[in-house]
Structure 1
Amino acid sequence: MHIALTSRPSPLLLALAAAYPGLATAAAAARVDFAVGNVVALGATGGTRPLSKGAEVQPGETVSTRDGRAQLRFSDGSLVSLQPQSDFRVDSYRYAGQADGSEQGFFSLLKGGMRTITGLIGRTNKDNYRVTTNVATIGIRGTEYSITYGDGITVSTGEGQVMVCNGGGCLLLSSGESALVTTPTSQPSRTEARTNLPPAPPSVSPQVFFASGEQRSGNGTPTLNSPLLPSGEGYDFHWAGVKSGNPYITYFSGTNAGFSSDGSLSTVAVGVLNYSAQGNAFYFTDGTIGWGRWSSGVLTGDGPSDQALKDIHYVVGKPTPTNDPVFSSSGTSTYNMLGFTMPTSTTGVVGTQAVTGQLSVNFSTYQVGVNMTVPIGGKTYVITDTASWSYGVFSSGGFICGGACTNGQLSGFFAGSGASHAGLTYQFLDNLPGTDLGKISGAAVFKK
Structure 2
Amino acid sequence: MIALMLPPLAEAQSAGTILFKSGNAIITRADQSVHPIFQHDAVLNGDTIDTKDGRVQIGFIDGGKISLQPETIYKINQYSFSGAQDGTEYAFTELIKGGLRAVSGLIGHQTPDRYQLATPVATIGIRGTQFTAIFLGNKLVMTTQQGSVDVCNAGGCRNAIAGQSISTSSKQSQPQHTHETANISTAPPSVSKPVYVQAEHLGKDRISAVVTDSVMQASLTDLSGTGNNPPGTPPDPNAPTTNTQTDILLSGIMQQGAVNYALLDGTLASNANNNLSRYQTQDIDLQLIAANLNDFYSDAFVSMGQVRGSINNQNVGLLSYIAGDATQPANLLQLANLNTPLQYNVLASTAPVLGNQGRTVAIGTANTVTGSLSVNFATYAYSYGLNIPLGPLTYTLAGNNTLTAGSAEFANNGSITSNFNNIGCIAGCNGVMRDASGNLATIVGRFIGPAAERAGIQYGFNIGQTHALTGSIVLGR
Which one has more relative contact order, counting CA pairs under 8 Å at least 6 apart? 2
TM-score scaled to structure 1, two decimals?
Answer: 0.48
Normalising by structure 2, we get a TM-score of: 0.45
